[in-house]
């Protein structure tokens, strides 16, 4: 009798658990938590030609919300590293003599609009098993280029030194745009892969843009030596080419992400509710 009671109790618990998970899977969810990691690649005066991918760390977290069965918006935070070094340049580039380098830890917040290739079903769990999407939006970037002091060996922030005699801001607008694809793993979870480029409005992401101001322009010896690391007689001369101001810097983020449908429904004027309302009205007319 005890064994029968125990077995019956276990069956009841299993049935209740299944019922709860069944309900949870089908309860409408309108908010998606995203998070992932990947690599970040810098494009600018200290990058090598043909260098399309670098293994600098990138971490991100965000929230995504669907307005229709194809269109969504996403707010996202990204932390990532960027770097460039003349010492790693090819000999034919002629950059080794310049001897500049930088590393930067960056923070980005962005808001983008997303358009999916395939429409979702009338409930979130009826979405396609595979989808492709594009996105574009606006972002705000904080960057902090640092370089190694050849005398002390320490990493120092370059913006306060005004190495080109320019007082530039370390906060700038960005335009994120790119493509992604996602695979449905469970009713609540997607796995996504995404590549996104950033159009920037600064050429000082790497602290390099125009010309050498000359040694006489500096009262701080540290600023003078971080500005001009050349070892030839040209060192300290004014007006020599240090960078190329005709093209702003840029970067690319390549990510793998998990998308989780939170058990929340904000009544998004959702396409599922609109469809249900239409069906109800049609049935009333009949």
User: Residue 91 belongs to a domain with what CATH number?
Assistant: 2.40.160.20
pLDDT score, position 278 = 43
Residues near 1 by Cβ (< 8 Å), separated by ≥ 6? Answer: none
Cα gap 80→178, rounded to integer Å: 17
pLDDT score, position 50 = 74
Structure tokens of 236?
Answer: 């300290």
**Is residue 38 included in any domain, yes or no?**
yes
Tell me how far CA of residue 201 lies from CA of 109, 168, 171, 208, 261, in angstroms: 15, 11, 10, 14, 35
Q: What does pTM read for this prediction?
A: 0.82
pLDDT score, position 17 = 41
Q: How many domains does the chain have?
A: 1
Residues 195, 251 contacting (CB under 8 angstroms):
no
**Is residue 206 included in any domain, yes or no?**
yes
Give, for 5, the enclosing helix (H) or strand (E): helix 2-26
pLDDT score, position 37 = 97
**Is residue 7 included in any domain, yes or no?**
no
**Is residue 13 included in any domain, yes or no?**
no
pLDDT score, position 4 = 39
Taking the CA atoms of 240, 246, 248 and 252 in sequence, report the sign of the dihedral they define: negative
**Is residue 49 included in any domain, yes or no?**
yes
**Is residue 5 included in any domain, yes or no?**
no
Sequential pLDDT tens for the chain (286 residues): 444 344 434 434 443 443 344 445 556 788 999 999 999 999 999 998 777 788 899 999 999 999 999 999 999 999 999 999 998 888 777 788 899 999 999 999 999 999 999 998 878 888 999 999 999 999 999 999 999 999 999 999 999 999 999 999 999 999 999 999 999 999 999 999 999 999 999 999 999 999 999 988 999 999 999 999 987 767 778 888 999 999 999 999 999 999 999 998 776 544 545 444 444 444 455 5
**Is residue 243 included in any domain, yes or no?**
yes
Domain that holds residue 52: 29-264
Residues near 129 by Cβ (< 8 Å), separated by ≥ 6? Answer: 183, 184
**Is residue 2 included in any domain, yes or no?**
no
């Amino acid at each position: 009798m005890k064994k029968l009671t125990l077995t019956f109790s276990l069956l009841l618990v299993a049935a209740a658990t299944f019922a709860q998970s069944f309900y949870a899977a089908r309860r409408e969810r309108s908010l998606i938590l995203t998070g992932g990691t990947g690599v970040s690649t810098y494009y600018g005066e200290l990058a090598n030609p043909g260098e399309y991918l670098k293994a600098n760390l990138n971490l991100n977290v965000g929230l995504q919300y669907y307005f229709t069965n194809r269109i969504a918006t996403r707010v996202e935070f990204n932390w990532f590293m960027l770097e460039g070094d003349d010492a790693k340049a090819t000999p034919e580039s002629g950059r080794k003599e310049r001897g500049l380098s930088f590393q930067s830890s960056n923070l980005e917040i962005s808001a983008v609009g997303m358009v999916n290739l395939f429409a979702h079903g009338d409930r979130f769990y009826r979405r396609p098993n595979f989808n492709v999407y594009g996105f574009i939006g606006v972002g705000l970037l904080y960057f902090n280029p640092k370089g190694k002091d050849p005398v002390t060996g320490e990493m120092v922030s370059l913006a306060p030194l005004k190495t080109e005699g320019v007082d530039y801001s370390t906060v700038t607008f960005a335009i994120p745009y790119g493509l992604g694809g996602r695979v449905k793993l469970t009713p609540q979870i997607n796995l996504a892969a995404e590549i996104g480029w950033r159009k920037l409005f600064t050429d000082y992401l790497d602290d390099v843009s125009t010309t050498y101001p000359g040694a006489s322009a500096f009262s701080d010896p540290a600023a003078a030596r971080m500005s001009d690391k050349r070892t030839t007689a040209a060192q300290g001369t004014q007006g020599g080419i240090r960078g190329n101001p005709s093209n702003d810097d840029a970067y690319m983020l390549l990510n793998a992400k998990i998308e989780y449908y939170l058990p929340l429904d904000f009544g998004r004027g959702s396409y599922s509710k609109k469809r249900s309302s239409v069906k109800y009205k049609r049935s009333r007319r009949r």
